Amino acid sequence: MKTTILIHCTDRSGIINAVTGYIHRKEGNVIYLDQHVDKEANVFFMRLESDFEKEDFSIQDFENGFQTELADSYGMEWSIHQAVPKPKMALFVSKYNHCLYDLLSRYHSGELEVEIPFIISNHNDLRPIAEQFDLPYHHIPVTKDSKKEAENKQLELLKVNGVDFIVLARYMQIVSPRIIDEYPNKIINIHHSFLPAFAGAKPYHAAFERGVKIIGATSHYVTEELDAGPIIEQDVTAVSHTHSIKDFIAKGRDLEKIVLARAVKLHVRRKTMVYNNKTVIFS
């Protein structure tokens, strides 16, 4: 059985040895170990891919032992994840189709190891793409008055379908705190600027106005503060005075697609850990 273990705790001597020793005693083989110490915060992070080949291996038994033998004494927060089943990813979109097309193409090609139970949108525009890819599309309009009701519908769909994480593929609405609370560090947004520059609306216009020579895109986990959550991935591309705002937007689309797809993959492979509103991204 292939597993991924994520651990963080206050740093101290002997943790690696203790954890690898425990896995060894459970007849597991550490295939990959990545570790990091945030020296400012004095926090230890570790990600282990381990393989347990023993036929009667019990994950319940492993968890119990790990908790009492290690986690309790080291004060660890930790989790163990099996490779199957694939996590369920809900997509929220509005009117822009480039990130949706990109993610669905990757999904369809088997590049993304997820299930997509449905797409939610506050508009009907992208329904044809959902149909192209044979996926359920829920049109949930959001107005001032319908906001609460819309949230209820969204939450119900998420719950009924057992959604594991949410991807905002250029969803142009603010996600409610109720949903953020249900999915802490499990909602991935793509912002069309090199954050923290140009947070908020119309970043390409602001970048053009400022006369920057490079534009960017940022994928981050959604927190209650707008565009201020832990950054997962960023990328940039050069621009010049020859580019109009329209050119910025067109160049930006390619950045957004790539940066969002990379972030989704990192999340799916459990290569991200969040601490102090920052991410550790394992290699």
- CA dist 200 → 32, 96, 219, 226 (Å): 39, 17, 14, 7
Q: How far is the CB of 151 from its own copies (least distance, A)?
A: 29
| Contacting its own copies within 48-107 (CB under 8 A) | 97-98, 101-102, 105
| Contacting its own copies within 125-184 (CB under 8 A) | 132-133
- The reply to whether 216 sits near its own copies by the rule CB under 8 A is yes
C-alpha closest to that of 219 among 210, 227, 211 = 227
Q: How far is the CB of 149 from its own copies (least distance, A)?
A: 31
Is-contact 238 267, C-beta < 8 A? no
The residue (of 143 and 242) whose beta carbon lies closer to its own copies is 242
- The reply to whether 225 sits near its own copies by the rule CB under 8 A is no
In the set 140, 142, 258, 266, which binds its own copies (CB under 8 A)? 258
Residue 215: partners with Cβ closer than 8 Å, 6 or more residues away? 193, 194, 204, 207, 236, 237, 239, 248, 251, 252, 255
In the set 83, 135, 236, 268, which binds its own copies (CB under 8 A)? 236
In the set 233, 248, 256, 267, which binds its own copies (CB under 8 A)? 233
Classify the phi-psi angles of 237: left when phi > 0, otherwise alpha if psi is within -120 to 50, otherwise beta: beta
- The reply to whether 248 sits near its own copies by the rule CB under 8 A is no
Q: What does the alpha-carbon distance between residue 204 and residue 94 come to, in Å, rounded to a whole number?
A: 18
User: Contact region for its own copies (CB under 8 A) — 64-72, 76-84, 183-191, 230-238?
Assistant: 230-238
Q: How far is the CB of 34 from its own copies (least distance, A)?
A: 8
In the set 109, 143, 144, 145, which binds its own copies (CB under 8 A)? 109
The percent helix, strand, coil of the chain (3-state, each to 5) is: 35, 30, 35
Q: How far is the CB of 28 from its own copies (least distance, A)?
A: 8
Among candidate residues 181, 227, 247, 254, the one labeled active-site is: 227
Q: What does the alpha-carbon distance between residue 188 and residue 247 come to, in Å, rounded to a whole number?
A: 26
Is-contact 255 236, C-beta < 8 A? yes
The residue (of 100 and 142) whose beta carbon lies closer to its own copies is 100
In the set 230, 256, 260, 267, which binds its own copies (CB under 8 A)? 230
- The reply to whether 200 sits near its own copies by the rule CB under 8 A is no
Is-contact 169 100, C-beta < 8 A? yes
Catalytic (active site) residue 227? yes
- Residue 36: HSE in the Cβ half-sphere, 13 Å Cα cutoff: 17
The DSSP code sequence of 216-267 is EEEEEE--SSTT-SPEEEEEEEE--TT--HHHHHHHHHHHHHHHHHHHHHHH
Task: Give residues in contact with its own copies (CB under 8 A).
Answer: 13-14, 16-17, 20-21, 23-24, 29-40, 97-98, 101-102, 105, 108-109, 111, 132-133, 194-198, 210-214, 216, 230-236, 238, 240-242, 244, 250, 253-254, 258, 261, 276-281, 283
Q: Hey, which residues are catalytic here?
A: 227
